[in-house]
Chains A and B, each alone.
Chain A
Amino acid sequence: MNKEILILILGMMVVTYIPRMLPLVVLQNLTLPSFLQNVLKNVPYATLGALIIPAVFFIQEDIMFGIIGAVTAFVVAYLGANVIIVVMASIFVLCLYSLLF
């Protein structure tokens, strides 16, 4: 095994693990100001917005691919389906789209 790659992997592990671990361990016994608590409760929804847009439009060269997939997911989720169904439906519709066009 290449020693340089091993050092690289261990280094990547350390710099990825520390930000994941610190807040969960350190903040447990602290009570944050309520404004800050509310901000942290907002983070999931803001994160999802930023994770989806704009990246979803660039999953394939054809921008329609991302648009059709995202719209399908949105509609199916809006109708109240479970996330697994949402994922399967988007994949299925995109399969149809690429077979037809």
Chain B
Amino acid sequence: MISTTVARRKSEFFSGVQAGITIAIGYFPVALTFGLLAEQTGLTLMETVMMSLFVFAGASQYISLSLIAAGVGVLEIILTTFIVNIRHFLMSASLNEKVEKDSSWKRALYSFGITDETFSVASIKEGTVTTSYMFGLFLISYSSWVINSGIGHVVGVNLPLVLQESMSIALYALFIGLLVPSLKKHRKVISLAAFAAIVNSLFTLTGWLSAGWSIVVATLSSSVMIEWIFTKWKLEVNQDE
């Protein structure tokens, strides 16, 4: 009995690792470039790797480099980081509806690995997501991020320019690859994605909101509005019958 539980956990862990390989590939050019820029900003190898190890949040790490270079104060950079990463709050709350119940410390541990990418992969997966799956998904993504940040600092980005530029599509292609199968299945998904995309474009292109807030506002308004519209519409359909 115990051995089957272990076997099940193992296979869940490896299916998480497998699902995370795409993320690891996508992080590769982004982390390399981060390492290179960190080196150019004057961070040591140790500081660069530590930032990736402790923070593990791409966009805010990039922003922090440009703020360090501009001589902005520590508190202000931390505040900016908070705003850029506030969307993880929403993702964590959403993931709570999806993952299996487990001890708080395990959840607290793997929650460190929530990024745009790991969240997207885990929440699009069919059925309940197990703790072992989350650890597998998290570990491979995290390793790629940390190791490639270090490599970027040491050797720079030594990829051919053509490949380097082309690889900048990787994470977006991942997002599209995750979204499309669901688009085909549910009409609601199209509305959710389209509404959020329009709101986000409106706020970022006009510069009314910073990218961090814009994604939060777009996601939340779309999730609420579309839910409201679909609930109402369903009620009306039922009344017609």
Which residues does A use to contact B, with CB under 8 Å? 1-2, 4-13, 15-17, 19-25, 27-28, 35, 37-56, 59-60, 65-66, 69-70, 72-74, 76-78, 80-84, 86-87, 89-92, 94-95, 97-99
Contact = CB atoms under 8 A, between A and B. Distances in A.
B146 interface: no
Contacts of A55: 172
B123 to A, nearest CB: 4
Given A5-B43, A8-B78, A74-B180, A45 B192 contact: yes
Contacts of B94: 40-41, 43-44
B162 A99 contact: yes
A4, A24, A60: most-surrounded residue (chain B CB, <10 A): A24
Contacts of A43: 90-91, 93-94, 123, 219, 223
User: Main secondary structure on chain B at its contact with chain A?
Assistant: helix
- Interface size on B, as a range, is 35 or more
Contact of A24 (B46, B108, B162, B167): B108
B163 A49 contact: no
A23 B93 contact: yes
Contacts of B188: 42, 45
Interface stretch (B1-9, B51-59, B148-156): B51-59
A17 B88 CA distance: 9
A45 B199 CA distance: 14
B147 interface: no
B74 A4 contact: yes
Contacts of B97: 37, 40-41
A46 B223 contact: yes
A87 B88 contact: no
Interface in B149-207: 162-163, 165-170, 172-182, 184, 188-189, 192-197, 199-201, 204-205
Contacts of B61: 12
Contacts of A59: 168-169, 172
A39 B214 CA distance: 18
A83 B92 contact: no
B107 A46 contact: no
A9 to B, nearest CB: 5
Interface string B95-111: 11111010010011001
Contacts of A13: 54-55
